[in-house]
Every structure is written in structure tokens, then in C-alpha cells.
Amino acid sequence: MVSFNPHPLMQAALAEARVAAAAGEVPVGMVLAGPDGSILATAHNQVEAQRSPLAHAEMLCLQQALAHVGEKYLTGCTLAVTLEPCPMCMAALCHARVARVVFGAYDPKSGGTVNGPRVANFMHHQPEILGGIEEAACAALLTDFFKGLRG
């Protein structure tokens, strides 16, 4: 059995988060890989650009991946995101039947995966969840962004 290495996916998600930060968005980035490990979609937060609270990286990436595969489910896929998914995004990931959710920084205030309501516990599909991957790098990106906003 081949063991899963989440770090390359998280490095790609961090690259997307940096794009978000450069655009003035909260620096959250993600990638979604198919069962074979190929990247199906990448995205970063675009809440400000789209003027929509729905434009979280996860939601945008799910839409791209679903269009790419032409199916309504992402069975066997792995998602890597730099911040613990919020309740809205975690519910969408469960509905899309993503197999594994890998995240970097924990979000004790707004998380919906291992913090907050733990949405997956109430869904029919419950993905495997791995938190804290490249946590220091993911958290530093967020901390630096918000320090810059506060002056």
C-alpha cells in the first residue's frame, strides 16, 4: 500500500493562497486532486473580487473540478486547503463526496471541520480529515496578511 503524502498538495495550495494575498483577498488557497493524484482544479478566495460571501476557495474549486470531471460527485478525490474549512464549505465538500480533506491552519473561531460544529459528523458522507499539514506556513501567511491590514 502506498502511503499518502499531503505536503506536495499543500505546497500548491499555499501558492494559490499567495495569489489571493497579492490580490487583497484573505489568503486561502486550495487544490483538488483526483484519485490518481492529478490536479483537477485550483482556486483561492475571491470574496472581494466577486463581491460574494460564497466565493471561498473551496466553493470555487469544487465548481471547477465538477465541471472538469463532468460528474456530480468527486469520489476518491483529495482536497488540500490552507485553512480549516468553514461550515458552509465543509458541507459542500461532504455533498460532493470528496474522499479526503487536508488542511493547514486550524480555525478555532470559524472552522467547521475539527472546530465549531464539525459539519461532517452530521452528513451522509464523511471524508477523512487531516489537519495541521504545513500548519506553520499556512498560519504565518494568514497572520502576516491581517497584520498588514491593521497597519
Beta-carbon contacts of 105 under 8 Å, excluding residues fewer than 6 positions away, are: 82, 83, 84, 135, 138, 139, 142
Catalytic residue chosen out of the listed positions 58, 84, 134, 135 = 58
DSSP, residue by residue, 81-141: EEEPPPHHHHHHHHHTT-SEEEEEE--TTT-SSSSTT-GGGGSSS--EEE--TTHHHHHHH
- Give the cell for residue 77: 478525490
- Give the cell for residue 85: 474549512
Catalytic residue at 134?
no
Separation between Cα atoms, residue 25 and residue 9, nearest integer Å: 21
For the annotated catalytic residues, the residue numbers are: 58
